[in-house]
Amino acid sequence: MAAAKSLVVLIMLSALLSNSFVLVLPASNFYQDFDIIWGIDKVRIRNDGEVLNLYLGKDTGSGFQSKNEYLFGKIDMQFKLVPGNSAGTVTSYYLSSQGSTWDEIDFEFLGNLSGDPYIFHTNVITQGKGDREQQFYPWFDPTSDFHTYSILWNPKTIVFYVDGTPIREFKNLESINIPYPKNQPMRIHSSLWNADDWATRGGLVKTDWTKAPFTASCRNFNAKTCIRYPAGPIISAPCPSNSSSSAWMKIDELDETSREKLKWVQKNYMIYNYCTDTKRFPKGPPPD
């Protein structure tokens, strides 16, 4: 462990001296890797930084963000979502840049009444424009144990994974003038918050505050990423691509096995796809 930490420190120092991005595989530790940005009294970090609990009360929720900014990466985190009557609550997990033309890659877990399934809500925002929602029911109980939620983001494609199974792919279609997030470094964010004006059945079901505080837990953060340090420039292809640890940079499409898994999820568990919403887009689906 000491040797691994020393290697990370040496790589970080090299990046600072060269004012650039660098490929880093940091050890997972919530003290080391993240800052609590709101609801500081409603976050608990346990097991020497290995587990973080988010809490939501009627007064406020809670959230954190990564200390580092990333430009491309394969990011995993395990979550155990709010159990029981979680209607009105949202646990979010996403990458986001800053500014009025920000980029964002979203997982949002929409709570529901006891016995009804969660909804996994995904979105990709490019240059401040979103409206690319796809939603899924899980094929398991996401509140009884931890499950792994992953985002792969490289210059060619974005893939959302649940327990290693791809559920959504968003390809780089700049060739037909569709913006793609590739120039803005992003931080990892997670939060637990009240969204009962829209989250459950369009806002018809409100949060039951007699069940508060609500709790979601996360652990096993893992990032194979390109980290941008404050002095570094913004460049569009920063990562070394000649090592096995950066294999995710080379992926431009899913292999046959992953493609079949994606089809299975989308056939059996997708409940909303913006591409087929003719009421929302009466003039035809968006070009992407």
Distance CA 64, CA 39 (A): 9
Distance CA 204, CA 223 (A): 38
User: What pLDDT, on a 0 to 100 scale, did the predictor assign at position 249?
Assistant: 78
16: pLDDT strictly greater than 50: no
User: Is residue 9 a part of any domain in this protein?
Assistant: no
CATH code, domain carrying 111 = 2.60.120.200
User: Is residue 13 a part of any domain in this protein?
Assistant: no
User: Is residue 167 a part of any domain in this protein?
Assistant: yes
User: Is residue 50 a part of any domain in this protein?
Assistant: yes
pLDDT in tens, 191-226: 999 999 999 999 999 999 999 999 999 999 998 887
82: pLDDT strictly greater than 70: yes
32: pLDDT strictly greater than 50: yes
User: Is residue 52 a part of any domain in this protein?
Assistant: yes
Q: Which domain holds residue 193?
A: 30-230+245-276
Across residues 128-143, what is the average pLDDT?
Answer: 96
Residue predicted with more confidence, 33 or 14: 33
Which are the contacts of 259, defined by CB distance < 8 A and separation ≥ 6? none
User: Is residue 197 a part of any domain in this protein?
Assistant: yes
Whether 253 is a known active-site residue: answer no
* Residue 58 burial (C-beta neighbours within 10 Å; 0-12, 13-18, 19+): exposed
Neighbours of 269 (CB within 10 A): 16
- State the total domains in the chain: 1
User: Is residue 6 a part of any domain in this protein?
Assistant: no
User: What pLDDT, on a 0 to 100 scale, did the predictor assign at position 237?
Assistant: 42
Q: Which of 50, 69, 108, 253 is catalytic?
A: 108
Tokens at 66, concatenated: 């990564």
238: pLDDT strictly greater than 60: no
- Which residues lie across from 119 on neighbouring strands? 110
Tokens at 203, concatenated: 């806002």
> Are 222 and 248 a contacting pair, CB within 8 Å?
no
Q: Which of 50, 69, 104, 260 is catalytic?
A: 104
From start to end of 131-213, where are the E strands? 134-136, 147-153, 157-162, 165-171, 187-194
> Are 235 and 182 a contacting pair, CB within 8 Å?
no
Q: Kindly indicate the confidence band of residue 126, based on its pLDDT and cuts at 50, 70 and 90.
A: very high
Whether 174 is a known active-site residue: answer no
